[in-house]
Structure 1
């Protein structure tokens, strides 16, 4: 439970204060900031999330999985294919899955 709680805390930090307005806007491929490649911003945002998961769990594989799934989820949100609430549910659901994998 401690690892899950830390991952959820880290998610809140990475998706809110550490993302900031610049990354939130720049990662959106449907309305990119002029001169800023959206994939650089999305990659940086997902690296923050993957880094937190990797550090907290001690697993590079889970950190990479977090990076990939976070990128796909945020891309889908920016495309309008999923809602903000679905985006957040997927992110938290992944943290539950990572904790479950560690227990197994």
Structure 2
């Protein structure tokens, strides 16, 4: 992967992140994923998992890599849980998500297509 396709991939990952973190998350998942203020009758881990899988799906689709999709889902869930627990701020949460996208592109640059 060369520089221009890498830049395109990074931009698509950021656009996908914005879609997955805002309109595709919605109010329900935004509230239900927080284990520190649980919603009655809604397992927080299911909501957080669903949100993380949406993000992983976007990354897998854009990059063509199931491995990067899995890494995205895991990292997204961890970062969001840290934010929900007030261990990191909203801005740090968003920065970490963008840095993950940068890492995925760098891995593609170094290793080429990943499974």
TM-score range, shorter chain: over 0.9
Q: Corresponding residue for 2:54?
A: 48
Cα distance, 1:59 vs structure 2: 0.6
Q: Which runs of 4+ in 1 moved over 3 A?
A: none
Instruction: Tell me the distance in 1 between the aligned counterparts of 2:8 and 2:39.
Output: 38
Is 2:88 the counterpart of 1:78? no
Secondary structure of the equivalent of 1:64?
helix
> Structure 1-normalised TM-score?
0.99
Secondary structure of the equivalent of 1:30?
coil
Cα distance, 1:32 vs structure 2: 1.1
Unpaired runs of at least 5, structure 1: none
Q: Corresponding residue for 1:19?
A: 25
Instruction: Tell me the distance in 2 between the aligned counterparts of 1:73 and 1:22.
Output: 19
Instruction: Tell me the distance in 2 between the aligned counterparts of 1:18 and 1:92.
Output: 17
